[in-house]
Structure 1
Amino acid sequence: MKRLKILFLTRDRSQQMEKSSFYLAEEMKKQCDLMLWTEDGHISKILAQIPHKPDFIFLNDFLDPKLCPRILGLNEISIPKGMIFHDISYQIQRRKNYINKEKIDFIFAHYRDAFMKWYPELAHRFIWLPHHVNTEIYRDFQLPKSINWLMMGAILRHIYPLRVIMLNTMKDQPGFVYHPHPGYNVVQKVNQGSLVGDEYAKEINRSKMFLTCNSIYEYTLMKYFEVLGCNTLLLAPATKETEDLGIIDGVHFVAVNRLNFMEKAQYYLTHETERIAIAQTGYEMVRTYHSSEARVRQLLSNITKLLSLRN
C-alpha cells in the first residue's frame, strides 16, 4: 500500500502543556509522508511551497489560534479536507457555518455521541477519532503506590459537578491527594510546582486509584486513557461510548456515580488483588487499542477508505 501524503495544518504544539496534537503528528510522521505547516496563509501559496501535492489536507481545528493557523482559500481547492474538532460544545453554530463555507469534507472528533447530538446534519461527514496516549509518557513506571486516591484537574461546578462532590467528600480521607489543573499554556508558563508530562504520569502511577468524571457532556475524556495507561485503577462514570471503546466496567475500570463512588473507593482500597487485576487489564487494553500508534493506524485507514470512495 502506498504511503499517504498528508498536509497537516497545525501550530507547533511541542511546548504546550497539552500535547495530544503533537503526539499525533509525531506518530503520523512514522506512518505516512507528513508535511507540517504552522503559519497563517493562503492554501494555494502553501501548496506551491511544499514538496508534494497532498492526498489529504488535515486541519487541527480552526477556532483556537493556538491549535491551527488561519488558512484562507480552502473552499477553492478540490483536494479532500478533514478537520479535527476539539471542544465540540464551543460555538456550535460557528463550527457548522465554517464547515459549509470552507467545504470541509470530513470532521474528526473525539466524542461520538455528543457530536451526533449537536451536529446531526453533519453525521455523514463525521469520523470518530477518540483520544489516545503516548505510551512512552503514559506507562507503568513501577513506582510504589503511595497514594490511596488521586484527583487531578479542573474543578468547575457547572462543567464537572461530580468532581466537586468527589473532592468535597474525599478531601479529609487519609491518603487522598488532589492537584489543581496547571492551565493550558506553554510548559514554561504553567503554575510553579504543577505536574506536567512525565511528572504528571508518574503521579498517576503512584496512586492506587484515580477518581474523575466525564463532565456534564458525558465525554470519554483524555483522563480515562491517561489513567489506564499508567496502570492505576480508574474510578469514573460509564456510558455506551466508553463501552464501545472497549473500556468495560469491572474489567478495565470501575464505573461510579455520585451515589456509590465513596463505597467503591473504600472497597477497592481493601481488596487489593481485585484492584491490581482490573488496573492491569485496563493498562494492557489501552496500550493495545488506544496508543497514539494505534490511533494513527486507525486514522490513516479511515482516510484511505474515504479517498477510495471519492475515486
Structure 2
Amino acid sequence: MRKINLLVTTGDFSKYISPEFHYLLMEVAKLTNLTVWHESGDIKDILKKVEVQPDFIFINEFGESNSPKITGLSTLEIPFAVNLYDIHYHIKDRKEALHADNVKHIFVYYRDKFLEWYPEFAHMMKWLPKHINPAIFKDYKLEKEIDYLLMGAVHHRVYPIRHKVVQAMKDKPGFVYHEHPGYRNIDDDEENVFAGEKYAKEINRSKMFFTCNSRYEYVLTKYLEVPASRTLLLAPSSNELEDMGFVPGVHFVEINEDNFQEKAQYYLENESERYKISKQGYLMVHEHHTTKKRAKQFVELIQEIITNEQK
C-alpha cells in the first residue's frame, strides 16, 4: 500500500512545554508523505501553495488559539478531520463551528467527556488517547531521592485532589512540589524550568507521584508520563483509564480526596509492592502507549476514513 499524502495544519509545538503533538508528527512522517502547515488561511489558498496535493487533511486543535485558523473547510472535496483538544471550552461555539464547517470526523483525546458533552457528534468521534515519547520518559535509573512528588497546576476548582494533596503535605518531610511553568514555549537555556528530559528525570527521581484527572476526569498525559518513568503513580481511576489498560493496584495506585495520605504512607513503607506496581505500569505504558504506537493508530484511522469515503 502506498503512503498517503497527508496535510496537517497545526501550531508549531516543537518548543512547547508539552510537545507531544510535535513528537507524533515526527513518527507520522515516517508512515506518510507528510506536509505540515503553520499559517492561518483559507484551505483552498493553502492547497495552491503546498507542493503535494493531499489525500487527507488533518486540522489540529480546531478552534484553539495555539493553532492556525483554517477557513473554507465546508467547501472541501478532499476528506478531512479535526482534532478537539480542550473540549470543555466554548462548547456551544464549537458545536456551531463543527456544523458550519461540515465536519464529519473528529479526533479527541478524551473519550467519555466528549460523548457526554457532544452526544450529537458521537458517530464522528475517533478516540486517540495521549502518548509518551520513550526517548524522554524512561527509566534513567536515578536514585529515588524524593519520597512524594507533585508537579503542575493545582488550582482548586480545576484540580481539586492535587490542591488537597499540596495543602495536606506541603510541610511533610520528603514531599516536593514544583509549580507549573505555564503553557508556553520553553527556551533551551531556561535553567529553572522542569520540561522535557529535566522534567522526566525529576519524575524518575521520585518514589511516587501524585496527580489527578481534573474536575473533567480527563486521562491527562501525566497518567502516562509517570509510570513510563518507572515511578509509582497515585491518582484517581476512571472507566476511560481502565479501558486504556490501567488496572488499579496493578499498574498504579488509585486514590481519592480522603485516602491519599494513607495510601502514600503505605507504599512508602512497602518498597517491594511499590517496586512491583511501578514496574508493571512501566512495562504496560511502554508497550501500549508510545508515540510510535499512537502514530500507527492515527494513520490507520485516516486510511480507514479514506477507504470508507471512496465507497
Would the TM-score normalized by the shorter structure come out above 0.5?
yes
SS of match in other structure, 1:82? strand
Query: Which residue is 1:80 aligned to?
Result: 79
Relative to structure 1, the CA distance from residue 190 to residue 18 in structure 2 (aligned partners, 3 Å threshold; closer, same or farther) is farther
SS of match in other structure, 2:58? strand
Shift of 1:130: 0.5
Check whether the contact 1:183–1:191 (CA below 8 A) recurs between aligned residues: no
Query: Which residue is 1:100 aligned to?
Result: 99
d(CA) in 1 for partners of 2:237, 2:189? 31
Query: Which residue is 2:70 aligned to?
Result: 71
The TM-score normalised by the length of structure 1 is: 0.97
Shift of 1:176: 0.7
Check whether the contact 1:160–1:213 (CA below 8 A) recurs between aligned residues: yes
d(CA) in 1 for partners of 2:190, 2:156? 22
d(CA) in 2 for partners of 1:72, 1:250? 47
Asked if residue 200 in structure 1 is aligned to residue 195 in structure 2, the reply is no
Relative to structure 1, the CA distance from residue 105 to residue 190 in structure 2 (aligned partners, 3 Å threshold; closer, same or farther) is farther
Shift of 1:218: 0.8
Shift of 1:64: 2.6
SS of match in other structure, 1:103? coil
Query: Which residue is 1:48 aligned to?
Result: 48
After superposition, where does 1:189-268 map in structure 2 within 5 Å?
Answer: 193-268=192-267
SS of match in other structure, 1:218? coil
d(CA) in 2 for partners of 1:303, 1:71? 19
SS of match in other structure, 1:45? helix
- CA displacement 1:156-194 (0-9 Å, x = unmatched): 011111111111111122111000000011103998612
SS of match in other structure, 1:164? helix
Query: Which residue is 2:283 aligned to?
Result: 284
SS of match in other structure, 1:188? coil
Check whether the contact 2:5–2:52 (CA below 8 A) recurs between aligned residues: yes
SS of match in other structure, 1:209? strand
d(CA) in 2 for partners of 1:45, 1:218? 39
Check whether the contact 2:170–2:176 (CA below 8 A) recurs between aligned residues: yes
SS of match in other structure, 1:299? helix
SS of match in other structure, 1:166? helix
- CA displacement 1:110-135 (0-9 Å, x = unmatched): 11100000000000110101000111
Structure 2: which 5+ residue stretches go unaligned?
Answer: none
Asked if residue 39 in structure 1 is aligned to residue 44 in structure 2, the reply is no
Check whether the contact 2:250–2:281 (CA below 8 A) recurs between aligned residues: yes
Check whether the contact 1:24–1:292 (CA below 8 A) recurs between aligned residues: yes
After superposition, where does 1:109-258 map in structure 2 within 5 Å?
Answer: 109-188=108-187, 193-258=192-257
The TM-score normalised by the length of structure 2 is: 0.97
d(CA) in 2 for partners of 1:146, 1:28? 37
Please, which moves more after superposition, 170-179 or 148-157? 170-179
**Letter in structure 1 aligned against 2:12:** D
Shift of 1:208: 0.5
How much is the aligned-residue C-alpha RMSD, in angstroms? 1.4
Shift of 1:22: 0.7
**Letter in structure 2 aligned against 1:283:** Y
Check whether the contact 1:182–1:191 (CA below 8 A) recurs between aligned residues: no
d(CA) in 1 for partners of 2:95, 2:304? 24
Query: Which residue is 2:308 aligned to?
Result: 309
**Letter in structure 2 aligned against 1:10:** T
Query: Which residue is 1:27 aligned to?
Result: 27
Check whether the contact 2:63–2:69 (CA below 8 A) recurs between aligned residues: no
Check whether the contact 1:214–1:221 (CA below 8 A) recurs between aligned residues: yes
Relative to structure 1, the CA distance from residue 190 to residue 93 in structure 2 (aligned partners, 3 Å threshold; closer, same or farther) is farther
Check whether the contact 2:213–2:220 (CA below 8 A) recurs between aligned residues: yes
Asked if residue 12 in structure 1 is aligned to residue 4 in structure 2, the reply is no
Residues matched between the structures, number? 310
d(CA) in 2 for partners of 1:182, 1:247? 28
d(CA) in 1 for partners of 2:273, 2:220? 24
d(CA) in 1 for partners of 2:235, 2:162? 10
Shift of 1:16: 1.5
